[in-house]
């Protein structure tokens, strides 16, 4: 509970609330002992979790030991009813974030403030403290008595607590990112911080470089519509030159900033002291007015948004947890600015000064501050989205007779005038008649605005949104009260497909509903089938839920009625109904129902018309196909892969142009190693989606590039565009994780997957991608932890537990998984492949061969048998069991094979001396898959190298591998290169190659081979013949 004015916290009397931020509330207080004003920060209620109090106090004590003029001083630490608080110096001024929001800073200001921050960091780093969250909101510009300002750094040592905030349902999803997650504000993170690595002082210097870049340009150097896209920019792209945004920045200062932003921390300034000294040199040149200053323009050439532009929604402010003192007051977040329809002849003016006095703008216009002057309301909690005092701007638009600005507050039923601002034109001042004219003119404008807004509301083209973009709508149940079983699930599935066309709604479908019901069943013992829809909505954190029914049939028309209800109060928020005379008319009724629901939820009529696509073009109008698709979705949520496969196959059998069903089949076939079937389904999906919505077309294109052409570059471009266009759809991040993992970019893949399940905590494929990326990064323990947590959320298993447990050395988990698979309890070919790889990697080759030759009772799909046999053949060829390997290869020759199976069979042949068949496979791959990234970049070169090794030509092998070193982590290249180096008596180079394999054990397993133990053996052989006396093969663990 927040303290009230006059209440005491120990010796401190609360005078008023200053503001708040992500972690705490800040109050102005009086210290009666020392007769001074101070700032008191209280921990947010959301942070009051087990162990948080101790963490807060520990970090506060660490920060209180920092005494420096450029660090906000912590005076005291106390407790109130067991809740800790900090007492800090009270500062007047603004954050650097506020200053940047108005304009770019001059070179002199950038250098001065950066020197002061570097001074603070020098002191902190000297005590072993890394800030981890340097950003403009954590740098306060304090007003000094001489009119200048001094930078002070806020919140030393407190940033890392942010990972553990949130209580209630949010913690169920948030804690899933803790394993391998990152700390800090995304846009200001260093590359090593984004990767979750250990940090040192150089990470803070990178963040300060980002701040300097932003001071100069008003842009951060790495941007993205989602955190995963931002991380891709951060980890892979160089920032644009500072001077391309702002030519007034001296080149020497630009070079300094860009050095701070280098990806490799070894190439940056190594200490804050080094950075400060470099800044001092630039400051000296600026102060002397030499060449450094002569090139600076009077006005920074910074491309920036139109200064009168205003955000469409409520403005949020991240000013850190210390708010600037202000005499102004906060305006309502419900206020909007309506400008005259005629555009001004001159540039609009803007002023952001606090207080109620007139403020001159750049063109001489005099503006008056809007709002009351009650300073106690001048600060608002940043978390609430309310506009803070410093953010209010007076925006004017000119006509020939002056400037008029009208603010109105709009709600569901009326438009209320709040305030009118006016500018007195020079030629009208002092005239009573002209004052009357002005008042009349203002009244006309106000009346026009009121009438226009009223007509908008009455026409239905303007409705207040029922849910904000961040508030989820959970689709629960549409009960089938007819005698037609084909409607079971079909109506709700059709509704979900249609509603997902809206970007105004955050729709959560069957994945979330089934997971929430399973959570309740696990926690309360209540059968999932009996759980109320509202209770599931509460469990999943949805703001509202959709519930409906379909009645009629026979001689009666079908009536589909749907309600949206508030999760909190169960009040009805929207209600729509549609009728259909026959089953064939039901799809059209579903489309009308979805469009009506979008309108009822407040979406603009024009947007609905522009984005709505009928079920006929978007998916299917075949009710039986929709029913089969719904069965497939349910089976997938329950981990019944074989049943899901059969249901999706039935759906496309009923309607081959059902794009969503074809895409689901393509991805499921891919996981089931049915390469040929996956390619075919993806091609059909792309063809079927030609008349569908933009989002479906783009997803179908991505599926085609991944599963048919195999062009990872085009796939990555396609899905990145999708993620930018549809940032609230986790589908984009799941797809990005898939292609990044295929390319061997496991760090970026993990970040994308984390973004996906952060957006939608109930997506099983997001967790699977994250787990596979973790395994590829040799973080198998984290993968197991994530698997366990996702299952507690009610999400079906990702199927990677055997691989993760084996690589993590969890023999108890391995034993349980292996026994089940040995008994023939495999639920998918994906699990069967992991079992075969486990057996081969642990030298159980006979048992492994049995797995590769069996179907495990699973349905045989086109390409799966060839994949299984070819994988077994490659493992045996690597283990030099060539007789059995070539026997398996012969069995694949009559089977339909995809690129992976063809490569594995060809590679096994090459390693075992069958040069003719290996070369045939190379030719087939080049002809059949000319766009396939793996084929063209490393499959064929690796096979060429293996053929050369087979004919005792190690030099030829090395020549074939010269251009593929960049694919070491996703190919057999380093192992083959090691064999070639052994062949030319380059033992030390061979050792390095084999150690490259051993350094990526998880990636080797994800790649799919027993190359790790073979590299282990090869390394031991090199050591045994004395090629490298320094090598001890026992230093690499074997399991």
> For residue 130, which of 76, 183, 82, 167 has the smallest C-alpha distance?
183
Residue with the larger pLDDT of the pair 94 and 1025: 94
According to the model, what pLDDT value does residue 354 have?
A: 34
Classified by CATH at the fold level, domain 93-294 comes out as Transferase(Phosphotransferase); domain 1 (1.10.510)
Q: How far is CA 831 from the centre of its chain?
A: 28
What percent of the chain is modeled with pLDDT above 70?
75
pLDDT tens digits along 261-308: 999 999 999 999 999 999 999 999 887 654 444 443 333 344 433 333
Say whether pLDDT at 1034 is over 60.
no
Say whether pLDDT at 71 is over 70.
yes
472-612 under CATH 1.25.40.10, yes or no: no
Percentages of the chain per state (helix, strand, coil), in multiples of 5: 55, 15, 35
Helices 915-928 + 899-911 axis angle, to 10 = 160
Residue 522, both tokens? 């696990």
Mean pLDDT of 722-726: 93
Q: Indicate where the chain has its CATH 3.40.50.10070 domain(s).
A: 472-612
- The region that residue 896 occupies, defined by phi over 0 for left and psi between -120 and 50 for alpha, beta otherwise, is beta
According to the model, what pLDDT value does residue 18 have?
A: 83
Please tell me which of 16-30, 88-102, 581-595, 825-839 the model is most confident about, judged by mean pLDDT. 581-595
According to the model, what pLDDT value does residue 451 have?
A: 58
Buried b / exposed e across 593-626, counting CB within 10 Å, b at 16+?
Answer: bbbbbbbbbbbbeeebeebbbbbebbbbbbbbbb
Judge whether 678 and 707 are in contact, CB under 8 Å. yes
Please provide the DSSP assignment of 371-435 as one string.
S---GGGS--BGGGTPPPGGG--EE--EETTEEEEEEEEE-SS-EEEEEEEEE--TTTTT-HHHH
According to the model, what pLDDT value does residue 173 have?
A: 32
Torsion angle of alpha carbons 988, 990, 993, 995, nearest 10°? -70
Place of tokens 């070491």: 968
The enclosing H or E element of 647 equals helix 641-654
Q: 568 CB contacts (<8 Å, ≥6 apart)?
A: 543
Say whether pLDDT at 403 is over 50.
no
pLDDT tens digits along 107-149: 999 999 999 999 999 988 888 888 888 999 889 999 988 888 9
Residue 71 is classified by DSSP as B
Phi and psi angles of residue 725, each rounded to the nearest 5 degrees, phi first: -75, -30
According to the model, what pLDDT value does residue 526 have?
A: 72
- Half-sphere exposure at residue 361, Cβ-oriented, CA atoms within 13 angstroms: 23
Asked which of 30-44, 300-314, 516-530, 541-555 is least confident by mean pLDDT, the reply is: 300-314
Q: Where are the beta strands (DSSP E) in 191-267?
A: none
The CATH classification number of 8-89 equals 3.30.200.20
> For residue 80, which of 41, 136, 50 has the smallest C-alpha distance?
41
The enclosing H or E element of 366 equals strand 366-367
Question: Which residue positions form the known binding site?
Answer: 41
Say whether pLDDT at 702 is over 80.
yes
Residue with the larger pLDDT of the pair 41 and 926: 926
> How many residues make up the chain in this entry?
1039
Phi and psi angles of residue 706, each rounded to the nearest 5 degrees, phi first: -80, -40
> For residue 901, which of 878, 884, 927, 924 has the smallest C-alpha distance?
924
Distance, in Å, from the CA atom of 194 to the CA atom of 182, rounded to the nearest integer, reads 6
Judge whether 13 and 29 are in contact, CB under 8 Å. yes
Asked which of 275-289, 559-573, 800-814, 836-850 is least confident by mean pLDDT, the reply is: 275-289
Q: How far is CA 464 from the centre of its chain?
A: 28
Mean pLDDT of the chain: 79
Q: 463 CB contacts (<8 Å, ≥6 apart)?
A: 412, 457, 599, 600, 602, 603, 604
Say whether pLDDT at 1030 is over 50.
no
Judge whether 232 and 291 are in contact, CB under 8 Å. no
Asked which of 211-220, 244-253, 360-369, 561-570 is least confident by mean pLDDT, the reply is: 360-369
How many other C-beta atoms can be found within 10 angstroms of the C-beta atom of residue 421? Answer: 17
What percent of the chain is modeled with pLDDT above 90?
52
According to the model, what pLDDT value does residue 75 have?
A: 84
pLDDT tens digits along 138-188: 899 999 888 889 999 987 754 443 333 333 333 333 233 333 334 447 889
According to the model, what pLDDT value does residue 434 have?
A: 59
According to the model, what pLDDT value does residue 190 have?
A: 92
Residue with the larger pLDDT of the pair 390 and 605: 605
3-class DSSP state of 320: coil
Distance, in Å, from the CA atom of 199 to the CA atom of 182, rounded to the nearest integer, reads 11
According to the model, what pLDDT value does residue 732 have?
A: 94
According to the model, what pLDDT value does residue 442 have?
A: 67
Distance, in Å, from the CA atom of 841 to the CA atom of 846, rounded to the nearest integer, reads 12
According to the model, what pLDDT value does residue 58 have?
A: 63
Q: Indicate where the chain has its CATH 1.10.510.10 domain(s).
A: 93-294
Torsion angle of alpha carbons 264, 269, 271, 272, nearest 10°? -120
> For residue 352, which of 337, 369, 335 has the smallest C-alpha distance?
369
Question: Which residue positions form the known binding site for ATP?
Answer: 41
According to the model, what pLDDT value does residue 297 have?
A: 39
pLDDT tens digits along 632-644: 999 999 889 889 9
Distance, in Å, from the CA atom of 219 to the CA atom of 100, rounded to the nearest integer, reads 9
Mean pLDDT of 561-569: 94
Q: Indicate where the chain has its CATH 3.30.200.20 domain(s).
A: 8-89
Residue with the larger pLDDT of the pair 890 and 1032: 890
> For residue 12, which of 20, 24, 2, 33 has the smallest C-alpha distance?
33
Say whether pLDDT at 478 is over 90.
yes
Mean pLDDT of 198-222: 93
According to the model, what pLDDT value does residue 333 have?
A: 32
Say whether pLDDT at 475 is over 90.
yes
Say whether pLDDT at 492 is over 90.
yes
Please provide the DSSP assignment of 977-998 as one string.
HHHHHHHTT-HHHHHHHHHHHH
Residue with the larger pLDDT of the pair 521 and 279: 279
Say whether pLDDT at 520 is over 70.
yes
Say whether pLDDT at 326 is over 70.
no
Residue with the larger pLDDT of the pair 170 and 32: 32
Judge whether 183 and 133 are in contact, CB under 8 Å. yes
pLDDT tens digits along 414-450: 333 333 333 333 443 444 555 566 666 666 666 665 5
Long-range Cβ pairs for the range 645-649 (8 Å, 24+): 645/672, 645/859, 645/861, 646/859
The enclosing H or E element of 206 equals helix 201-217
Judge whether 437 and 427 are in contact, CB under 8 Å. no
First to last CA, the chain: 54
CA–CA distance from 248 to each of 284, 297, 303, 636 (Å)? 17, 5, 13, 58
According to the model, what pLDDT value does residue 299 have?
A: 37
Judge whether 829 and 672 are in contact, CB under 8 Å. yes
According to the model, what pLDDT value does residue 688 have?
A: 96
> Quick one: 200 exposed, middle or buried, by C-beta within 10 A (0-12, 13-18, 19+)?
middle
Mean pLDDT of 522-549: 88
Q: How far is CA 326 from the centre of its chain?
A: 35
Say whether pLDDT at 1006 is over 80.
yes
Judge whether 599 and 566 are in contact, CB under 8 Å. no
pLDDT tens digits along 886-936: 999 999 999 999 999 999 999 999 999 999 999 999 999 999 999 999 999
Distance, in Å, from the CA atom of 535 to the CA atom of 945, rounded to the nearest integer, reads 61
């Amino acid at each position: 509970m927040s303290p009230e004015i006059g209440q005491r916290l120990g010796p401190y009397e609360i005078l008023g609330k200053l503001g708040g931020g992500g972690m705490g509330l800040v109050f102005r207080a009086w210290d009666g002992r020392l007769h001074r004003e101070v700032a008191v920060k209280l921990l947010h209620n959301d942070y009051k979790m087990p162990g948080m109090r101790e963490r807060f106090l520990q970090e506060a004590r660490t920060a209180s030991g920092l005494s420096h003029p450029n660090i906000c001083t912590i005076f005291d630490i106390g407790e109130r009813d067991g809740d800790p608080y900090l007492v800090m110096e009270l500062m007047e001024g603004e954050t650097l974030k506020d200053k940047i929001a108005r304009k770019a800073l001059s070179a002199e200001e950038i250098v001065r403030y950066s020197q002061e921050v570097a001074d603070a960091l020098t002191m902190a780093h000297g005590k072993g403290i890394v800030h981890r969250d340097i950003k403009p909101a954590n740098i306060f510009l304090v007003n000094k008595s001489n009119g200048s300002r001094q930078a002070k750094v806020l919140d030393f040592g407190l940033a890392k607590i942010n990972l553990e905030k949130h209580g209630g349902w949010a913690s169920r999803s948030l804690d899933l990112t803790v394993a391998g997650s990152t700390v800090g504000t995304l846009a200001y993170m260093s590359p090593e911080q984004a990767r979750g690595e250990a940090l040192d002082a150089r990470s803070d210097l990178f963040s300060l470089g980002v701040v300097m870049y932003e001071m100069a340009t008003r842009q951060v150097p790495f941007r993205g519509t989602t955190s995963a896209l931002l991380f891709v920019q951060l980890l892979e792209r160089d920032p644009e030159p500072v001077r391309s945004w702002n030519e007034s920045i001296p080149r020497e200062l630009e070079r300094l900033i860009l050095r701070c932003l280098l990806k490799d921390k070894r190439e940056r300034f190594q200490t804050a002291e080094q950075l400060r000294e470099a800044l001092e040199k630039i400051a000296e040149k600026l102060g002397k007015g030499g060449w450094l200053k002569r090139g600076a323009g009077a006005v920074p050439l910074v491309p920036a948004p139109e200064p009168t532009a205003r955000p469409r929604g409520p403005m949020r402010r991240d000013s850190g947890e210390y708010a600037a003192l202000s005499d102004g007051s906060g305006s309502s977040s419900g206020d909007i600015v309506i400008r005259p329809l005629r555009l001004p002849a001159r540039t609009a003016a803007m002023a952001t000064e606090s207080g109620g006095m007139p403020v001159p703008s750049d063109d001489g216009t005099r503006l008056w501050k809007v709002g009351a002057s009650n300073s106690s309301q001048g600060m608002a909690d940043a978390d609430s989205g309310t506009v803070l005092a410093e953010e209010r701007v007076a925006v004017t638009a000119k006509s020939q007779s002056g400037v008029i600005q009208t603010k109105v507050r709009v709600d569901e039923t009326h438009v209320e005038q709040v305030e009118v601002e006016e500018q007195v034109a020079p030629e009208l001042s002092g005239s009573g008649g002209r004052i009357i004219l002005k008042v009349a003119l203002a009244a006309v404008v106000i009346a026009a605005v009121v009438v226009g807004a009223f007509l908008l509301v009455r026409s239905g083209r303007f409705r207040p949104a029922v849910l904000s973009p961040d508030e989820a709508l959970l689709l629960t149940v549409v009960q089938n009260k007819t005698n037609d079983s084909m409607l079971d699930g079909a109506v709700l599935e059709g509704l979900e497909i249609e509603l997902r066309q809206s970007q105004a709604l955050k729709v959560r479908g069957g994945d979330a509903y089934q997971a929430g019901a399973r959570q309740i069943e696990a926690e309360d013992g209540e059968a999932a089938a009996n759980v109320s829809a509202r209770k599931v909505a509460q469990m999943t954190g949805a703001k509202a839920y959709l519930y409906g029914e379909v009645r009629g049939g026979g001689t009666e028309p079908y009536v589909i009625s749907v309600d949206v209800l508030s999760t909190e109060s169960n009040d009805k928020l929207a209600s729509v109904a549609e009728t259909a005379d026959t089953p064939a008319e039901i799809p059209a009724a579903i489309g009308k129902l979805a469009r009506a629901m979008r309108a009822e939820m407040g979406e603009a009529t024009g947007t609905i018309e522009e984005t709505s696509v009928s079920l006929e073009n978007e998916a299917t109008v075949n009710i039986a196909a929709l029913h089969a698709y719904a069965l497939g979705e349910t089976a997938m949520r329950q981990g019944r892969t074989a049943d899901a496969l059969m249901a999706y196959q039935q759906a496309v059998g009923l309607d081959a142009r059902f794009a969503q069903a074809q895409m689901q089949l393509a991805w499921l076939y891919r996981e089931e190693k049915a390469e040929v079937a996956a390619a075919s389904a993806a091609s059909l999906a792309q063809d079927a989606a030609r008349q569908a919505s933009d989002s479906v077309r783009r997803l179908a294109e991505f599926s085609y590039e991944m599963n048919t052409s195999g062009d990872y570059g085009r796939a990555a471009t396609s899905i990145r565009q999708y993620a930018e266009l549809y940032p609230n759809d986790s589908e984009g991040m799941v797809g990005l994780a898939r292609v990044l993992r295929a390319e061997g970019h496991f760090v970026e893949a993990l970040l994308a997957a984390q973004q996906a399940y952060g957006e939608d905590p109930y997506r099983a494929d997001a967790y699977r991608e994250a787990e596979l990326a973790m395994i590829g990064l040799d973080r198998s323990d984290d993968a197991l932890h994530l698997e366990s947590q996702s299952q507690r959320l009610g999400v079906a298993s990702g199927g990677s537990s055997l691989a993760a447990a084996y690589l993590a050395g969890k023999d108890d988990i391995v034993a349980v998984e292996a026994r089940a698979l040995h008994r023939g309890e495999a639920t998918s070919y994906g699990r069967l492949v992991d079992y075969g790889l486990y057996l081969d990697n642990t030298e159980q080759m006979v048992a492994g061969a049995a797995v590769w030759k069996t179907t495990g009772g699973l349905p045989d799909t086109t390409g799966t048998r060839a994949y299984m046999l070819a994988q077994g053949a490659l493992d045996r060829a690597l283990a030099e069991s060539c007789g059995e390997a070539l026997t398996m290869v012969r069995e694949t020759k009559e089977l339909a094979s995809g690129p992976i199976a063809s490569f594995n069979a060809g590679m096994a042949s090459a390693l075992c001396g069958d040069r003719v068949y290996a070369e045939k496979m190379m030719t087939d791959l080049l002809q059949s898959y000319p766009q396939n990234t793996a084929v063209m970049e490393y499959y064929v070169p690796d096979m060429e190298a293996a053929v050369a090794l087979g004919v005792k030509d190690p030099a030829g092998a090395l020549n074939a591998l010269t251009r593929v070193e960049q694919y070491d982590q996703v190919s057999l290249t380093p192992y083959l290169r090691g064999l070639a180096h052994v062949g030319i008596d380059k033992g030390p180079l061979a050792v390095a190659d084999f150690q490259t394999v051993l350094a990526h054990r998880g990636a080797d397993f994800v790649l799919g081979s027993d190359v790790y133990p073979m590299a282990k053996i090869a390394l031991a052989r090199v050591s045994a013949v004395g090629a490298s006396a320094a090598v001890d093969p026992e230093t690499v663990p074997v399991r």
